[in-house]
Amino acid sequence: MPSAVYGRAGLVPGFPGALLAAIFLAWPPGAGAFGPSGHRVAAHVASRYLCAETREALRPLLAGRTLADAGIWPDTIRRDPDWQRSKPWHYLNVPDGGSIAREAARSPDNVLAALERFERELGDPRLGAEQRGIALRFVVHLAADLHQPLHIGRAEDRGGNRVAVRVGERLTNLHAVWDGEVLRTKGVAPRDWARALRWPAAAELARWQRSAPRDWARESLALRSQVYALPAGPEPVALTPDYLAGARQLLDRRLLEAGVRLAGRLDRLVGPGTPCATAVAAGRPNL
């Protein structure tokens, strides 16, 4: 059967299997942009809470990679000509006071629609390991993207990409700050970042895992006022220590929520059907 990849409204047949394999082999270990560290943190959190059956089911789909590796792959391929169409799958533009449901219905090319498609593929055992492996990588990645507030962004400033800011002596943009790389503690590996998070209680774990992707998008939209609470002044706006501390605290929580929720989705899609987070939390941590 010919290989295939996602196109605008579904699968595009005839994509060369050898080329796909080459892309996987060339996939760099630390490239991409939550930033790559943020995506790895969320995946490390998810790994902690997975059911044992889910871990085993994911093994052939990961092809020797880790869940943290899987989370950065969709960003590494966006400049490849065969994957240019994937760019809109990482975000949803919603105007201030707008409706997530209305904006999501305008086009199949948005983060909510893409996540739904890839979850459907990942959970279909009739599909081959290659196709489900691609779906897994997108599920891991897009679940985290939905928790980055500026991936539910304003079209006019491209989700903060056009808002110039200064962090110390560094010139950057608002989206890059909330992608997390600017806020990352120098020398701290993503796994250690994940270990240092405030782990939630069992009731909180269960509540987070009952939520759905549209809930995650609504949470990100609700954070817009905090994200854009910038100090007064001309661009590039110099971000204050208080703003950066608040951003880091919120980012930590969003990464933790993303990882916990991702674990629950994977348990339902390829595992026993019921999340194991509360049972895992009561026993020995997997991280």
Q: pLDDT tens digit string along 201-244?
A: 999 999 999 999 999 999 999 999 999 999 887 889 999 999 99
d(CA 176, CA 183): 9
Residue with tokens 């500026």: 150
Judge residue 84's burial from the number of C-beta atoms within 10 Å of its C-beta, 0-12 exposed, 13-18 middle, 19 or more buried: exposed
- For the domain 4-155+175-218+247-282, what is the CATH code? 1.10.575.10
d(CA 44, CA 102): 33
Q: Which residues contact 236 (CB under 8 A, 6 or more apart)?
A: 164, 165, 166, 171
Look at residues 66, 159, 175 and name the one whose alpha carbon lies nearest to residue 111: 159
Q: What is the mean pLDDT of residues 261-270?
A: 97
Which pLDDT belongs to residue 10?
35
pTM (two decimals):
0.86
d(CA 175, CA 247): 12
Q: What is the mean pLDDT of residues 105-125?
A: 96
Name the strand (E) or helix (H) holding 48.
helix 36-49
Q: What is the mean pLDDT of residues 148-167?
A: 96
Which pLDDT belongs to residue 183?
82
Can the peptide bond before residue 236 be classed as cis, meaning omega within 30 degrees of 0? yes
**DSSP assignment of 140-187:** HHHHHHTTSGGGEE-TTTTTTTT-EEEETTEEEEHHHHHHSTTTSPTT
Side chain identity, residue 123: G
Measured in whole angstroms, how far is the alpha carbon of residue 113 from the centre of its chain? 14
Higher pLDDT, 199 or 19: 199
Evaluate whether 63 touches 24 at the Cβ level (below 8 Å): yes
Averaged confidence pLDDT in the chain = 86
Per-residue b or e along 238-265, where b marks 16 or more CB atoms closer than 10 Å to that residue's CB: ebeeebeeebbebbbebbbbbbbbbbbb
d(CA 89, CA 107): 10
